[in-house]
Amino acid sequence: MKVLTAFSLLLTCGLATTSQSGQECLCTSDQSCWPNAEEFSQLQAQVSQPLVYPLPTASACYPTSDPSGNCTEVIENWTDGNWRSSMPGSMEAPNWETFIFKNGTIEACYLNTTITGTCGQGRVPMIGVDAHSVADIQAGVNFAVKHNLKLVVKNTGHDYLGRSAARGSFVVWTHNMKNITYDTAFLPQGAPSSANEMYDAVTLGAGVQWHEAYDAVNQRERMMVGGISAGGSVGAAGGWLAGGGHSLLSPTYGLGVDNAIEISVVLSTGEYLTVNNYQNPDLFWALRGGGGGTYGIVTSVTYRTYPSVPLQFYLFEANVTNSSAMHDLIGKLLHSQTQFTDDGWGGYGQMTNQSMYFYYVAPNMTNETATATTQAWTHYALSLEPWGVTSTITMYSVPSWYQLYAGANSTGVQNGANLMFTSRLLSQDTVANKYKEVAQVLIDCGASFNTVAGGKVNEVDPDSAGLNPAWRNAVVETVCGFSWQDGTSSTEIEGMIDQLKGWIKTTYDLTPHDGAYFNEASLFEINWQETFFGSHYSTLKSIKNKHDPYKLFVVAEGVGSDDWNKELTCRD
């Protein structure tokens, strides 16, 4: 379906504002080009819901900012990801609600009202569309193009590069697009009947979160590849997929991009397309791993599902009093990862300089096989006891993925904490040959690690999706980061960032070709085009230029953002 807009001809004349330097710039709320009340009223007449006026999460604790708000509710729900995602101005990491001026002053809305007497809008968008339908998104996109607005797209606000917010911006909020449909014989649009390509599949609206998706497929005794986080609050059809979409099931079933069959999207032209391997395959390719908020606004994704099967659960915990033994333990674990993932184990872990734990799960594996495939590691870890390593090992069967998720969903994504981190994919070559050097870096930064690659992920053609090809050689993702309290000065934050940059450089120098996961990374990654997208970057950029002719969609470190200034408001 192609939507023709009344101002299409006007757009060819160029409505972009021009800065004094001659650059084409987007319009933000502090400029005279910002739409007036009458123009917003015209937009209101075109959408199904009242326009939203997003506020920072803690605004209810500042009566002058939100006189009708309930501060008690804010305090009680501050760390609840589902509560936060239900508000258009709330980000899962509240540091992305704040704005740091060049002089170091921070505009924020802190939960602790004793820190400041005012509540600033920060980077929270000013106004936007609460999209409940494709038509709502089209109206929002057309309006943004007509007025050349700085646009952001937000679903749940789970974003660690700040892509769900921008100072003075206009937002299209997709969180309330909750439609879920199930088809036991799904055939992609445009596929010939002779293709014999039918799937047991579920189609999720853009706003569906993992707890809703899992509930739906579990009712049909099915499961699907997805994330596991606090309350299942991460979006299932938004940025998770666009960045690649890892899961602890990935070593057995692949990444999210390997399980997406079809995607529907609204482009900057207002066109609504359904893309797959038969229709607009280039865009389908880019949307699977080429980065969120870059090519259009996704309205739905169709995923394949799998029969529900039991899982084996393996939990390892260790306390270590000897630093040399700690280094050996982490190094050996890295060296063992290829074997673990090839056998179908996936999971998550964390370390400090004195302790380490991880839990791995393996779908449809017998207890005998689980014991056999973990035996080498178990024996090695127990052998370190004379050197100050005390290990605890637990293994048991779980009836289904859904039961594992329901029991473990209190862990995972941290909500309501100021947070920055860097990630690094570690390739098969790295864990085989550089595990000792990498182990020291991970111990120094107190890393977490995600065994979400290897196995099936490595078997997929690197060019089958726009995803960074580094994923097809990776076996584990490691993450180093830091958090800070509200009220911390910009100088102190800069000091922490300097430490983060040090970890980035050390890890990059050790693993220059291993890449990073776009959804769990830093704005300070070295050579971000290659780090996030690898050899696919130039192709992704040509696809973006083709399908986003108005250059409406631009996000931090996203494809094409290298043509813009640091603030992503002006381009040459």
Terminal-residue alpha carbon distance, the chain: 33
CA angle (481, 486, 488) in 5-degree steps: 75
Under a CB-based contact definition with an 8 Å cutoff, are residues 488 and 372 in contact? Answer: no
User: What's the pLDDT score for residue 409?
Assistant: 58
Residues 6 or more apart in contact with residue 116 via CB below 8 angstroms: 108, 110, 487
**Domains parsed from the chain with CATH numbers:** 32-173 (3.30.43.10), 180-307 (3.30.465.10), 311-399+417-526 (3.40.462.20)
User: What's the pLDDT score for residue 408?
Assistant: 66
- What kind and span of H or E run contains 33? none
- What kind and span of H or E run contains 306? strand 306-307
User: What's the pLDDT score for residue 1?
Assistant: 36
b/e map of 143-161 (b: 16 or more CB within 10 Å)? Answer: bbbbbbbbbbbbbbbbbbb
b/e map of 326-361 (b: 16 or more CB within 10 Å)? Answer: bbbbbbbbbbbbbbbbbbbbbbbbebeeeebebbbb
C-alpha torsion angle, residues 430, 432, 435, 436 (rounded to 10): -130
User: What's the pLDDT score for residue 229?
Assistant: 81
Beta bridge partner(s), residue 307: 222
User: What's the pLDDT score for residue 15?
Assistant: 45
Q: Which residues of the chain have pLDDT under 50?
A: 1-15, 19-22, 410-413
Cα–Cα separations (whole angstroms), residue 568 to 401, 558, 560, 563: 41, 10, 10, 9
Q: At what angle do helices 367-383 and 323-342 cross, to 10 degrees?
A: 160
DSSP state of 441: H
Specify the pTM: 0.94
DSSP readout, 462-521? TTSSSS-GGGGTEEEEEEEEEEE-TT--HHHHHHHHHHHHHHHHHHHHH-TTS---TTS-
